[in-house]
Amino acid sequence: MSTFKAPKGTYDLLPPDSAKFLAVREAIAAPLRNSGYGYIETPSFETVELFARGVGESTDIVTKEMYVFETKGGDRLALRPETTAPVLRAVLQANLHKAGNLPVKVWYSGSQYRYESPQKGRYRHFSQVGAEAIGAEDPALDAELIILADQSYRALGLRNFRILLNSLGDQECRPVYRAALQDFLRGLDLDEDTLRRAEINPLRVLDDKRQDVQKQLTDAPLLRDYLCDACKAYHEEVRELITAAGVVFEDDPKLVRGLDYYTRTTFEFVHDGLGSQSAVGGGGRYDGLSEMIGGPSLPSVGWALGVDRTVLALEAEGIELDIPSATSVYAVPLGEEARRILFAKVTELRKNGVAADFSYGGKGLKAAMKAANRSGARYALVLGERDLADGVVQLKDMESGEQTAIGVNEIVAELESRLG
């Protein structure tokens, strides 16, 4: 046992469970690849300023949850708590928005870091797959992203998730609503911290999870009653497009997201089997973010889905993913000469695209066959002294138990045809 442990609030992904995480990432990415989204990867850390400006000075993420450090050169950096601001920074820096093909559609997969109090489904290091469509203001784009997320969850077999949808208005109508909400909040019995938050960003108070705060918010003014005609029409079109695609959603007039950059469409995927950490993912439109970080006006929309939370959702629904075995053929040599010959065959099988493994460490037949069983291989190759003299290898079908002697030089072709 090592004296070192993973840092608090983090986890290691180990086989065989890691295969489930890879399958979830793949299922989320597949519909995106199929819809014109290209892969993007950004550094795990950025300048603190990018998040302070982009995510918002008053958000919990920036005030309490960021991992901030100073480099030897004196730069102040932060591990990324989310990836939208970095993706937008990368697109602007590479001038992709000037290449003439808007929107720039990208998807990413990677870790985020937040200093949170750890609990089931909430870690300090967690993995997301996300998608961003940058540089176009079009309700069809918002609809496309919601439909693709829905598709990837359904492809995994998930059924008990809900999509909550709201509109946060734009720079025309939100200030009017904001003022009305602030007036309402000033009349409530709230602690100083919450009142301060109400002055900076009153919408964040609606997101407060405490019962005593929620109780007082029952009669809070709703954003949907303040939307301007343009925002109403936009939201209506998003709703019509996703409904026509057969996606079921719920209107949630109180839904706000924890980042300051959202405008208009905002949505969340929730799963009721996860207890308090019910959000498995979410996103929305962020038309002003580019200007906040010093770029031109680039209306954009995106989402991120939590890989860890999605795995918990699968477990909550009792869904076993059909993950193919990593090994098709397992070679068991008995003796030195057999070892040399079979190792060469395993190398050849691998070159021909057959997943093969080998019994290392000179195990006896019984232990080696146990290992072959555990590997999930469909076939075992057993080569002993007598087989060597006859120039054959025993090919054992691990499902039926049937064993056939095959010529040493025919073994690769035989396995390729059997595994098709």
Mean pLDDT of 55-82: 88
Q: What is the pLDDT of residue 253?
A: 87
Name the residue among 69, 27, 73 with its Cα closest to residue 48. 69
CA count, 13 A, side-chain hemisphere, 99: 13
DSSP β-ladder status, 392-397 and 379-383 = antiparallel
- Domains in the chain: ranges and CATH: 18-173+227-316 (3.30.930.10), 329-419 (3.40.50.800)
Q: What is the pLDDT of residue 188?
A: 87
Name the residue among 310, 303, 306, 304 with its Cα closest to residue 142. 303
Name the residue among 369, 370, 378, 323 with its Cα closest to residue 349. 378
| CA distances from residue 253 to 96, 145, 248 in whole angstroms, order as listed | 35, 20, 16
Tokens of 285: 């439109």
Q: What is the pLDDT of residue 258?
A: 61
CA count, 13 A, side-chain hemisphere, 144: 21
- Residue 341 — very low, low, confident or very high, per pLDDT cuts 50/70/90? very high
Write the pLDDT tens digit of every residue in 277-332: 689 999 999 998 999 999 999 999 999 999 999 999 999 999 999 998 899 999 99
- The four Cα atoms 307, 311, 317, 321 give a dihedral, to 10 degrees, of 110
Q: What is the pLDDT of residue 300?
A: 97
**Residues contacting residue 386 through CB under 8 Å, at least 6 positions apart:** none
Question: Can you say how many angstroms the Cα of residue 69 is from the centroid of all Cα atoms in its chain?
Answer: 26
Whether the Cβ atoms of residue 54 and residue 62 lie closer than 8 Å to each other: no
Mean pLDDT of 352-358: 96
Helix axes 18-33, 139-155, angle to 10 degrees: 140
Write the pLDDT tens digit of every residue in 364-394: 999 999 999 999 999 999 999 999 999 999 9
Name the residue among 286, 288, 180 with its Cα closest to residue 227. 180
Name the residue among 140, 138, 164, 139 with its Cα closest to residue 150. 164
pTM: 0.90
CA count, 13 A, side-chain hemisphere, 30: 13
Backbone angles phi and psi of 280, in degrees to 5: -95, -15
**Residues contacting residue 9 through CB under 8 Å, at least 6 positions apart:** 116, 118, 123, 124, 125
Whether the Cβ atoms of residue 91 and residue 97 lie closer than 8 Å to each other: yes
Whether the Cβ atoms of residue 274 and residue 316 lie closer than 8 Å to each other: yes
Whether the Cβ atoms of residue 396 and residue 360 lie closer than 8 Å to each other: no
Least trusted range by pLDDT, from 45-59, 333-347, 404-418: 45-59
Q: What is the pLDDT of residue 190?
A: 87
pLDDT at 197 over 90: no
- Residue 58 — very low, low, confident or very high, per pLDDT cuts 50/70/90? low
- The four Cα atoms 403, 407, 411, 412 give a dihedral, to 10 degrees, of -170
Write the pLDDT tens digit of every residue in 213-270: 888 888 889 888 999 999 999 999 999 999 999 999 999 988 877 666 788 999 999 9
Backbone angles phi and psi of 9, in degrees to 5: 80, 10
